[in-house]
Amino acid sequence: MRTIEIFDTTLRDGEQSAGVNLNTIEKIEVAKQLERLGVDVIEAGFPAASKGDFDAVQRIGSTIKNSSVTGLARAQQRDIDAVWESLKGTAEPRLHVFLATSPIHMTHKLKMTPDQVIDTAVQAVQYAKKFFPVVQWSAEDACRSDLNFLVKIMERVIDAGASVINLPDTVGYITPHKYGELFRYVRENVPNIGGVKLSAHCHDDLGMATANSLAAIENGADQIEGTINGIGERAGNAALEEVAVALRIREDFYGATTRLKLDEIKKTSSLVSKLTGMRVPANKAVVGDNAFAHESGIHQDGVLKEKTTYEIITPELIGVNSNRLVLGKHSGRHAFKNKAVELGFDLTDEKLNEAFHTFKDLADKKKEIVDEDLFSILTNKQTEMTEGVGFTLERMQVQYGMDNIPTATIELKFEDGNVTRLASTGSGSVEAIYNTIEKILPGKSKLLDYKINSVGGGRDALAEVYVRLEYDGENTSGRGTAQDVLEASARAYLNAVNRSAQRSHSRGKEAVQASL
């Protein structure tokens, strides 16, 4: 059976989803989970894009041991140098360099002739080969490119040293049959293609990213690129969990497998969803909440008699535990630690202890603590920011009545220990809270987006709020979890402001270090 390599780009193309902004700590947590999932390659970012991206790629490169780490670069020395600086010293530094090959992109975006594109691509790959043992070259917008041109440029970049060639469907335009043909065509027509790995990278604009990726596999692709939960630019990328599970369930047809530990899928999906704030739709294939739920009588009858009547995937395959956990207010640290490890967390004793106290407080208020609650508490602790930066919510009181104007009184503690208390009104309770916080904060802020989810089920479920703001001219996002919707809303707002403060704090530290 063939083994298909999995190239995960959740932290690069996935982070290109509108409204998603992960900090370095969060990216490292995602990378560690991707390593546990068993992906072959992690595309950790685009180092030339920003200092934050550079740092994240560097830290992921030095943390991850069992997956290769790569970074993206345009066909420019400056971008290639940035990837090299971030990954030199890692076990197998790997570069992903791209240049568009379609007439639309070459004419309107790059403003280059086809010959200039060939020369630029060749020079970039030759330059990269001085540093990187593995160079992957992508023909951006390959699916709207001229086939003869594609064959010509592939031959040249292979000669220049590229050992992986990616044929992305950048705008989600191709259909499965045509994508399959493209892979077969280049295999048969590029003279020096023997030994080169072919990679597929699909977008979901027409809802065909998974089908197209599978068609590429049927026609000789060696590597599939995609993201967890299918997040990514515009309508997103191919969802890796769908591709990997389809290969397993239809092994009879595809005759191909991956190295993924499929029972890590659900956990990876939940982590990515939680940290990005991009909720997985209930009916999403493989990882949606309803993926294993049977609603109608005839289906339930069938499943009770024989599961396979209506279930082609077992929940256990992707790591959904059908045994429900019973951890409650009488549980102790051992059981809590045991569960944390089982859920894939590796916290210091100090953080575990703090998470344990949060769990106990919640257990006092909530009837039943389920895995989702613990996952939320432990993820918050794992990705918590540096102590002492930003504002802390000390107290909050909200008055609401159908005939009254909602009023929020809030007490915030500043980094220097000073406490400010203010009250303000709004047309609703959340608006009253945000108006009050905005009055207390020294910077100017504007709410851009607000989303609320419930964690777990039942009327006592935790509320999880995601916000996007502009704070002091910078876009930032944050999340807050609490049993009460209003408290979660306040915490999310402060988390977004604190993340922005944390970034300024790191920039300030770097400037001081640079001046020494």
Ligand X SMILES: CC(C)C(=O)C(=O)O
Ligand Y SMILES: CC(=O)SCCNC(=O)CCNC(=O)[C@H](O)C(C)(C)COP(=O)(O)OP(=O)(O)OC[C@H]1O[C@@H](n2cnc3c(N)ncnc32)[C@H](O)[C@@H]1OP(=O)(O)O
Residues that bind ligand X (CB under 6 A): 13, 72, 98, 138, 140, 166, 168, 170, 201, 203
Candidate ranges 72-80, 267-275, 429-437, 455-463; the one touching ligand Y (CB under 6 A): 72-80
Q: Which helix (H) or strand (E) holds 153?
A: helix 147-160
Query: What, of ligand Y, ligand X, none, does residue 74 touch, CB below 5 to 8 Å by kind?
Result: ligand Y
Q: How far is the CB of 75 from ligand Y (least distance, A)?
A: 4
Select from 76, 358, 392, 483 the one that contacts ligand Y (CB under 6 A): 76
How does DSSP classify residue 390? S
**C-beta separation of 477 from 395 below 8 A:** no
Residue 349 in tokens:
């004793």
Select from 25, 36, 63, 110 the one that contacts ligand Y (CB under 6 A): 110
Task: Closer to ligand Y by CB, 16 or 504: give it.
Answer: 16
**C-beta separation of 109 from 100 below 8 A:** yes
Q: Does 49 bind ligand Y (CB under 6 A)?
A: yes
Tell me how long the chain is.
516
Query: What, of ligand Y, ligand X, none, does residue 166 touch, CB below 5 to 8 Å by kind?
Result: ligand X
Task: Closer to ligand X by CB, 239 or 398: give it.
Answer: 239
Q: Which helix (H) or strand (E) holds 303?
A: helix 297-305
Q: Does 43 bind ligand Y (CB under 6 A)?
A: no
What distances in angstroms separate CA 244 from CA 38, 211, 276, one per listed residue? 11, 12, 22
Q: How far is the CB of 43 from ligand X (least distance, A)?
A: 9
Q: With b meaning 16 or more CB within 10 Å and e meaning fewer, what string describes 251-260?
A: eeebebebeb
Calculate the dihedral angle through the C-alpha atoms of 321, 323, 329, 330, rounding to the nearest 10 degrees.
Answer: -130
Task: Closer to ligand Y by CB, 54 or 375: give it.
Answer: 54
Select from 22, 99, 164, 355 the one that contacts ligand Y (CB under 6 A): 99
Q: How far is the CB of 128 from ligand X (least distance, A)?
A: 15
Q: How far is the CB of 418 from ligand Y (least distance, A)?
A: 37
Q: How far is the CB of 156 from ligand X (least distance, A)?
A: 18
State the Cα–Cα distance between residues 114 and 148, nearest whole angstrom: 12
Query: What, of ligand X, ligand Y, none, does residue 46 touch, CB below 5 to 8 Å by kind?
Result: ligand Y
Query: What, of ligand Y, ligand X, none, does residue 48 touch, CB below 5 to 8 Å by kind?
Result: ligand Y
For ligand Y (CB under 6 A), the number of binding residues is 15
Residue 103 in tokens:
């007439």
Q: Does 231 bind ligand Y (CB under 6 A)?
A: no
Alpha helix locations (H) across 76-131?
Answer: 77-87, 103-104, 114-129
Select from 30, 39, 48, 165 the one that contacts ligand Y (CB under 6 A): 48
Q: How far is the CB of 125 from ligand X (least distance, A)?
A: 15
Residue 230 in tokens:
């299918």
State the Cα–Cα distance between residues 253 and 259, nearest whole angstrom: 18
Task: Closer to ligand Y by CB, 137 or 254: give it.
Answer: 137
Calculate the dihedral angle through the C-alpha atoms of 46, 47, 48, 53, rounding to the nearest 10 degrees.
Answer: 90
Site for ligand Y in 165-224 (CB under 6 A): 170
Task: Closer to ligand Y by CB, 16 or 126: give it.
Answer: 16
**C-beta separation of 173 from 198 below 8 A:** no
Q: How far is the CB of 417 from ligand Y (least distance, A)?
A: 38
Task: Closer to ligand Y by CB, 149 or 310: give it.
Answer: 149
Beta pairing class for 407-413 and 392-399: antiparallel
Q: Is 433 exposed, middle or buried (0-12, 13-18, 19+ CB in 10 A)?
A: buried
**Closest to 319 in 3D by CA, of 262, 273, 281, 272:** 262
Task: Closer to ligand Y by CB, 162 or 430: give it.
Answer: 162
Select from 98, 132, 254, 375 the one that contacts ligand Y (CB under 6 A): 98
Task: Closer to ligand X by CB, 72 or 150: give it.
Answer: 72
Look at residue 154 and give its three-state secondary structure. Answer: helix
Determine the residue type at 91: A
Q: How far is the CB of 258 from ligand X (least distance, A)?
A: 19
Q: Does 140 bind ligand Y (CB under 6 A)?
A: yes
Task: Closer to ligand Y by CB, 30 or 486: give it.
Answer: 30
Task: Closer to ligand Y by CB, 3 or 116: give it.
Answer: 116
Q: How far is the CB of 283 from ligand Y (least distance, A)?
A: 27
**C-beta separation of 127 from 80 below 8 A:** yes
Task: Closer to ligand Y by CB, 169 or 222: give it.
Answer: 169
**Residue 127 CB: number of other CB atoms within 10 A?**
21
State the Cα–Cα distance between residues 98 and 121, nearest whole angstrom: 8
The residue ranges that bind ligand Y (CB under 6 A) are 13, 16, 46, 48-49, 74-76, 98-99, 109-110, 140, 170, 233
